[in-house]
Structure 1
Amino acid sequence: MQNIFRQYGMPFLMVSGMMLLVTLALLPLQQQVELAIVVLVYLLPVGISAARWGILPGIASAVSSFLLINYFFTRPYHTFKVDKFEDLVALAAFLVLTITISQLVGRMKNSLALATARENETVRLYDLSVSLSRLSSEADILDSLTRHTFETFQAGQAQGLVESESAPLLVSYPPQDGKTSQPDVVVSMQGSQRLFGEIRLWRQAALSPAEMRLLNAFATQGVLALERARLTSAEARARILEESDKMKAALLSSVSHELRTPLATIKASVSSLNSEAVPWEAEARRDLLSAIEEETDHLNRLVGNLLNMSRIEAGALKLQRRWNVLAEVASVAAKKVKSATRDHAIRLEISDELPLVWLDDVLMEQVFINLLDNSCKYSPPGSSVHIRAEIRGEMLWAQVSNESPRVSEHDLGMIFEKFHRVTAADQITGTGLGLSICKGIIEAHQGRIWATNLPGGFAIEFEIPINAGGTAPRIPQP
């Protein structure tokens, strides 16, 4: 009721007050002031009324001015009769002029108010659009939408509800003020194919048509942002699935190619040993058994790499650390790849004075096996492969170097990626997982690994904390 009186009653009351004040001010000068001067004076409150309160109060002030001039300032006084024709023309012209002024000024006021409201809507929508454009998750989008709705419409409470793919999301502003009553306004967020949710408002004053239009625009912006977030999420999932399919295809191709050679060798050797047509001598039998053992070791390393890669990808690689002598770990690795490195000279350059290192010896052995195998594949036969290690501050530094050609800067940055090859896959055998596994194992030891070109070849270097397990025990002297 108070709002209705403030909106409609108060302007007419103010108009009446201004007319009364102007009339009281001019009455003492009734005999001395000409009608033209009186008409000009009454134009002032008419213009003020139209500019301040709009068309209807302006027209009301024009009609009341016309009546007041006629009654108090046109002869005969205190009647609505007009003796002179020119006075009648002046009054009629005054009435037409003031009504016209009221309409023009009122329309200008309404146009200004409409332009201001549209500008406010545009600014609010722009702020909301900018805020939503930076967000990618549905929870953040709903939070921003609800907060902007609460601030823009000056509501007592605002809520946003979205039916997400996992569970419904509900955001309230202010967060600590829960509402149990029915909301005053509910706007649905309807997408092109489905209903996303709704916006709820608790507000005493009813929304104007312009505010309702703005609230619907807010809901539309929210729908667009949610659709974009879901499309982005779906695109990311599709891209991940596509990459996964490519990786599976590459892995299957690499593994099948890598398995074919050792299996063929094992099959041929076993078939030869089982053949009764050929009497095998002891030395030939040993050669065949040695070939079977070598290829079985090759298969075992391949399966071990695949298992380690799956653990690294799943985040399930668990270290079994203990204090170890790095020279022994590297030496065991060199012996295990002896068959693959028979055409190369393995040089172990690790000082006996090197302290014990806190590491997983099985996984670190796998690192050296992969690095030695990789070095022998890419370096020319007859060349040397060097294993070096030393203490640098709080870190253990190790290097496996060879005499292979230099690697481009692009390949240096990509060399630890899965399935990345420096040369064509048909020129070098392997699954393309060895260096990627090394990277996962070294990082699991809180270390880092990198590749670098040397003046006479190429090297893989890594470093890990030397005292991650506390103070190392002393190595017993023989």
Structure 2
Amino acid sequence: MKFLRFFSTFPQPHSPCARMLWAVIACVIATLLAWPWRDFLDPANTAMLYLLAVAVVAARAGKGAAIAAALLGTALLDFFFIQPRFTFTVGDVQYAVTLAVMFAVALIIGNLTQGLQREKEAAQERERQSNALYQLASQLAGALTLEQIEGMTRRFLHETQSCQSQLLMRHGEEMSPVIPGQTPLSGKPYYAVKAALQQGAAQATLDGALHWLILPLHDTPQARGVLVLSFYDVGLLGNERRPLFKAIAALVAASVERLHFVEIAQQAQLQMTDERLRNSILSALSHDIRTPLTVLYGMADTLAQSALPQALHEMADAMRQQTFRLNSMASNLLDMAKLRAGDIRLNLEWQPVEEVIGASIKLLGPALAQHPVSVVLPADMPLLRFDAVLMERVLCNLLENAAKYAAPGSSIRIAVRADQKFAHLSVCNEGSQFPIDRLERLFELFERGDIESNVPGVGLGLAICRSIVSAHGGSIYADNDAGACVTFTLTLGEPPVIETEDEYE
């Protein structure tokens, strides 16, 4: 083995002539070493030197040179060491068997040695690739931007694979380079990029003398981008290099995903901070404002009930109404701050929904004076489990909104229905409509159905409704099917059995 390792230090020949020269030199050296011992060694033992020469040639010069060395070694053994010498005539039949066996063994040794050499080279190549991938992964782990990922990948591929690369990211239906100013792809490479994204698989194409390999950053059609490789050596498209390129694309994809989720986490952290700050401000403002508003409302109510001239009486009544409206807004702000902070405790009880509907209508008597209210309720409506105070707040907000945006004299309808799992409660008015493009945003903080409306409000009523309904495990949505309608759901569950008086007797 040490002898073979010594020969492995010599540079490997590449040209056919150099390989044949290795075969000739190895056989000549074996002949020169064996010639002084021609009278003492049996030809079968001398053949071992030629087998060693064949093994050396196979390790360094390849299979073709090993076959040539086997043929030449067999001929030299016959010519110099088998009687009669210096002829190719075999005087004894057993020597003919020796030559045949030597030739066969030489071929086998050459093939085995060549196979071991290929496995060794493949193992060394895999080791180099693994080390290179480890270095690339280490570099990409510290990348903070897509530009850094693109630059690291491009340098790595240029230095280790002698090819050019470009990182393209998806923006809707189009692909754009990460580095601004790079020439966009066109022709066959462009269509190969489209195919790679649609199929989620690597695509290879030829454009002139330049070979292209398109690698999606994920094996799915939803890849965030592609890694584009270009090179002149067609050997890089072989099956031996494909796993390496796919591994590089996987590393790039993992780095891109990491940056994406880091960005999402940062945005979520900023949103949480903003929400916390906003809730704190809302809570502080609403709490500090409610006390002076209550005092002002009391003073305005006292003035309105006093014996004043008509003009002053109307002014005092207007002050009382505006103060009441401000107090309601401050209450909404405080409630919203509590709900957003999770400071809500539900007092859930089984109770009929018609009671909370009636209480809400009675509470909003003055606001509903110009709007007749109709209630559609099934006769067999079961009991529902909810917090009566909070559910009354939901219905009051919905009824107040319906009254504010409905035309004077138009009716408001409350409809209740039940299916197998949920109870659906709807509050609708006639004539008005929600903006179609804002149906989902109506329940966000400070969102109003009509931004340009002169109707007073800050856009908290529906947001409070959604928070309360969500705390009950339900959902809420708006539509324009029968006027401007807001519908929320409550889980039916299994209400307790109510025993009649006859069952006690």
TM-score by length of 2: 0.48
- The answer on whether the counterparts of 2:423 and 2:489 sit within 8 Å (CA) in structure 1 is yes
Q: C-alpha displacement at 1:377, in angstroms?
A: 1.6
AA aligned opposite 1:402: N
- The answer on whether the counterparts of 1:355 and 1:475 sit within 8 Å (CA) in structure 2 is no
Identity of aligned residues (%): 23
Question: Partner residue of 1:11?
Answer: 5
**Match for residue 356 of structure 2 among 313, 317, 329:** 329
Question: Partner residue of 1:458?
Answer: 484
Larger mean CA deviation between 360-369 and 441-450 belongs to: 441-450
Q: Is it true that 1:471 corresponds to 2:465 in the alignment? A: no
Q: C-alpha displacement at 1:300, in angstroms?
A: 5.5
- The answer on whether the counterparts of 1:347 and 1:385 sit within 8 Å (CA) in structure 2 is yes
**Match for residue 415 of structure 1 among 437, 442, 448:** 442
Question: Partner residue of 1:384?
Answer: 411
**Match for residue 237 of structure 1 among 244, 269, 292:** 269
Q: C-alpha displacement at 1:393, in angstroms?
A: 2.2
Question: Partner residue of 1:174?
Answer: none
Question: Partner residue of 1:374?
Answer: 401
AA aligned opposite 2:456: T
1:142-167 deviation per Cα after TM superposition (whole angstroms, max 9, x unaligned): xxxxxxxxxxxxxxxxxxxxxxxxxx
Q: C-alpha displacement at 1:305, in angstroms?
A: 2.8
Larger mean CA deviation between 324-333 and 359-368 belongs to: 324-333
Question: Partner residue of 1:433?
Answer: 460
Structure 1 residues 289, 13: CA separation in 2 closer, same or farther (over 3 Å shift)?
closer
- In 2: Cα distance, 1:397 partner to 1:389 partner: 6
- The answer on whether the counterparts of 2:304 and 2:314 sit within 8 Å (CA) in structure 1 is no
- The answer on whether the counterparts of 1:337 and 1:369 sit within 8 Å (CA) in structure 2 is yes
AA aligned opposite 2:426: Q
AA aligned opposite 1:471: P
**Match for residue 425 of structure 2 among 375, 398, 401:** 398
- In 2: Cα distance, 1:413 partner to 1:14 partner: 74
- In 1: Cα distance, 2:275 partner to 2:337 partner: 16
Structure 1 residues 9, 380: CA separation in 2 closer, same or farther (over 3 Å shift)?
farther
1:29-67 deviation per Cα after TM superposition (whole angstroms, max 9, x unaligned): 969xxxxxxx99997565446469xxxxxxxxxxxxxxx
- In 2: Cα distance, 1:323 partner to 1:296 partner: 36
Structure 1 residues 404, 333: CA separation in 2 closer, same or farther (over 3 Å shift)?
same
AA aligned opposite 1:266: Y
Question: Partner residue of 1:340?
Answer: 367
Structure 1 residues 379, 349: CA separation in 2 closer, same or farther (over 3 Å shift)?
same
- The answer on whether the counterparts of 1:375 and 1:404 sit within 8 Å (CA) in structure 2 is no
- In 1: Cα distance, 2:8 partner to 2:398 partner: 93
Q: C-alpha displacement at 1:466, in angstroms?
A: 2.1
- The answer on whether the counterparts of 2:398 and 2:486 sit within 8 Å (CA) in structure 1 is yes
- In 1: Cα distance, 2:429 partner to 2:501 partner: 33
Question: Partner residue of 2:129?
Answer: 119
AA aligned opposite 2:339: I
Q: C-alpha displacement at 1:22, in angstroms?
A: 4.2
- In 1: Cα distance, 2:299 partner to 2:319 partner: 10
> Mapping of 1:65-464 within 5 angstroms?
117-124=127-134, 233-234=265-266, 236-242=268-274, 266=297, 269=300, 272=303, 279-280=307-308, 292=320, 298=325, 301-351=328-378, 353-424=380-451, 427-455=454-482, 457-464=483-490
Residue correspondences, number? 321
- In 1: Cα distance, 2:465 partner to 2:279 partner: 18
Q: C-alpha displacement at 1:9, in angstroms?
A: 8.1
Q: C-alpha displacement at 1:224, in angstroms?
A: 11
AA aligned opposite 1:393: Q
1:222-241 deviation per Cα after TM superposition (whole angstroms, max 9, x unaligned): 99999997776455434544
Q: What is the root-mean-square deviation in Å for CA atoms of aligned residues?
A: 5.9
SS at match of 2:443: coil
Question: Partner residue of 2:106?
Answer: none
AA aligned opposite 1:121: N
Larger mean CA deviation between 395-404 and 21-30 belongs to: 21-30
- The answer on whether the counterparts of 1:350 and 1:390 sit within 8 Å (CA) in structure 2 is yes
- The answer on whether the counterparts of 2:286 and 2:331 sit within 8 Å (CA) in structure 1 is no
- In 1: Cα distance, 2:343 partner to 2:141 partner: 38
Q: C-alpha displacement at 1:339, in angstroms?
A: 2.3
Q: C-alpha displacement at 1:336, in angstroms?
A: 1.4
- In 1: Cα distance, 2:6 partner to 2:331 partner: 92
- The answer on whether the counterparts of 2:427 and 2:485 sit within 8 Å (CA) in structure 1 is yes
Q: C-alpha displacement at 1:425, in angstroms?
A: 5.7
1:423-466 deviation per Cα after TM superposition (whole angstroms, max 9, x unaligned): 126622122111111112112222221111124x1111122122
Larger mean CA deviation between 238-247 and 370-379 belongs to: 238-247
Q: Which runs of 5+ in 2 are unaligned?
A: 10-25, 40-48, 63-79, 82-116, 144-252
SS at match of 1:415: helix
Q: C-alpha displacement at 1:334, in angstroms?
A: 1.2
SS at match of 1:306: helix
| Larger RCO (alpha carbons 8 Å, 6+ apart) | 1
- In 2: Cα distance, 1:365 partner to 1:433 partner: 16
Structure 1 residues 380, 14: CA separation in 2 closer, same or farther (over 3 Å shift)?
closer
- In 1: Cα distance, 2:452 partner to 2:273 partner: 24
Structure 1 residues 344, 9: CA separation in 2 closer, same or farther (over 3 Å shift)?
farther
SS at match of 1:362: helix
Question: Partner residue of 1:84?
Answer: none
- In 2: Cα distance, 1:447 partner to 1:345 partner: 28
1:196-229 deviation per Cα after TM superposition (whole angstroms, max 9, x unaligned): xxxxxxxxxxxxxxxxxxxxxxxxx999999997
- The answer on whether the counterparts of 2:435 and 2:450 sit within 8 Å (CA) in structure 1 is no
Structure 1 residues 340, 467: CA separation in 2 closer, same or farther (over 3 Å shift)?
same
- The answer on whether the counterparts of 2:280 and 2:337 sit within 8 Å (CA) in structure 1 is no
